Structure 1
Amino acid sequence: MTIKNVKAKGNLVRLLDMDPEFYVDLIYSTDDNFTGSKVYQSSECYIDKDTAIQLIDAKNKLKAMGYGVKIWDAYRPVSAQQRFWDLLPDNDYVAYPPDMATMTEFKNSHMNGQCVDVTLTNPDGSDIPMPSGFDDFSERAHLDYPGTTGKARENAETLRDVMVQCGFTPYKGEWWHFYNHNTTPVRYSDFEL
């Protein structure tokens, strides 16, 4: 894939430069998130380049099935991760922030843009039934939650199945969260959004 005029920061690229067909609603660039305040200074979505390529493949498959794809979060600065942990120190929902001064091994993470929080939409970007809202810190966020039935379950299963076909690994505690374990983890960064 050769794309011209892509904004980049290290391993990160601006997703809409790679493919403008995504709907981007970075929740943390608004006050409407679990912190109650704006965390990111920009609503531009950055993501690891290899992860973006896999995500474009998934979006194309989902588009052919009649869906749109909305991004809620992708790259997250380390300082934002620390802020989240300070507010919700629960490793089931918020990853423990790293000590960058001593860290030598890295994982696929929001902090290097190698995972993504994503949902399905109608082709025009309007919401469709899903198991819960974003950052629902309850069992409703689990795809296997028995209370999730009907179209919401079907839509979440479709999202999961296509993301897995395209090389992503789902997180069992959040139906919207997917890791790109096909890419070698790179160092976390703290680029300001």
Structure 2
Amino acid sequence: MKHYAILLCWFSLVLGCKNSTEKSEGNKPINHTDTVIINTEATDEKPETLRTFEGLSDTTFIRLADFSNQFVYDMRYATENNFLKAKVYDCPECYTRVKTAKALIAANEEFVKNGVKIKFFDCYRPNSVQYKMWEIVPNPQYVANPVKGSIHNKGGAVDITLVTLDGVELDMGTDFDFFGKKAYHDNTDLPQDILDNRKLLKETMEKYGFWSIRTEWWHYNLSAASNDKVANFKWPCD
């Protein structure tokens, strides 16, 4: 019986079905039971064979690059090129929940038809990283309070822009993480080409279930992810 229990426990771990409770840096328990699909080699290289969503629940976390090779990545928080002026990720990766990934892939297919595609600045963010950001900038105007968490911590928010199929960024009027009125969606005092670029991004993302926030043209939340749990798993780095 003892050997059977050990075997059963090992089998559960292989399937990724073990319930877990982690402690965030703020000592807030974070529970999550979702399977985590992890690519053990954190790399920007495109996989030879893309994975499918067959058999995965909508709340499963996945590495987006394993399911589509049509995106571009510039994961700013894995560098010091961000408003924090600090590197808070050990290595650059873009993880989301399956339902978020499905919506992103569908939206990107439409963007590609218009000669552009999505470029990511940030995706899923571990709650422990939210605490790091809060320590650097403890201001809810710029960083969500980690005690409550952000939709980024739920795998349902992304920070994005658009690039041409050759990788040239469209002009959105400001850089990512520019906090000022020039980045507001309701600021129409901008050149028409910038307004058109923002409109294309916003209207297409909204068509596929995302909603924006007024002050950041780059930030999009998936409506269906609002009630998901805050998570704190970390992807592997070489």
TM-score band by shorter chain is 0.7 to 0.9
1:170 is aligned with what amino acid? S
Secondary structure of the residue aligned to 2:106 is helix
Cross-structure match for 2:20: none
Residue among 95, 101, 105 paired with 2:144: 95
CA RMSD in angstroms, aligned pairs only: 2.3
* Whole-angstrom CA distance in 2 between matches of 1:183 and 1:34: 26
Secondary structure of the residue aligned to 2:187 is coil
* Whole-angstrom CA distance in 2 between matches of 1:133 and 1:110: 19
Cross-structure match for 1:60: 109
2:130 is aligned with what amino acid? Q
Cross-structure match for 1:169: 211
Quick check: 2:156–2:226 contact (8 Å CA) kept in 1?
no
* 1:19 and 2:68 matched: yes
The aligned runs of 1:138-153 (5 Å cut-off) are 138-153=180-195
* Whole-angstrom CA distance in 1 between matches of 2:71 and 2:211: 20
After superposition, the Cα gap between the structure-2 partners of 1:145 and 1:4, relative to the gap in structure 1 and judged at 3 Å, is closer
Divergent runs of 4+, >6 A: none
Consecutive unaligned residues of structure 2, counting only runs of 5 or more, are: 1-50
Quick check: 1:71–1:118 contact (8 Å CA) kept in 2?
yes
Deviation at 1:183, TM superposition (A): 3.5
The aligned runs of 1:32-181 (5 Å cut-off) are 32-98=81-147, 109-181=151-223
Q: Figure out how many residues of one structure are paired with residues of the other and give that number.
A: 183
Larger radius of gyration: 2
Deviation at 1:184, TM superposition (A): 5.7
* Whole-angstrom CA distance in 2 between matches of 1:77 and 1:89: 17
Consecutive unaligned residues of structure 1, counting only runs of 5 or more, are: 100-105
Cross-structure match for 1:29: 78
Deviation at 1:124, TM superposition (A): 1.3
Return 180-189 or 112-121, whichever deviates more: 180-189
Secondary structure of the residue aligned to 2:161 is strand
Q: CA-to-partner distance for each residue in 1:70-98, whole Å, 9 max, x for gaps?
A: 01111011121122222223323221112
* Whole-angstrom CA distance in 1 between matches of 2:137 and 2:195: 27
Secondary structure of the residue aligned to 2:219 is strand
Cross-structure match for 2:229: 187
Secondary structure of the residue aligned to 2:223 is coil
1:48 is aligned with what amino acid? R
Q: Which has the higher contact order (CA 8 A, sep 6+)?
A: 1
Secondary structure of the residue aligned to 1:121 is strand
Return 29-38 or 69-78, whichever deviates more: 29-38
* 1:3 and 2:45 matched: no
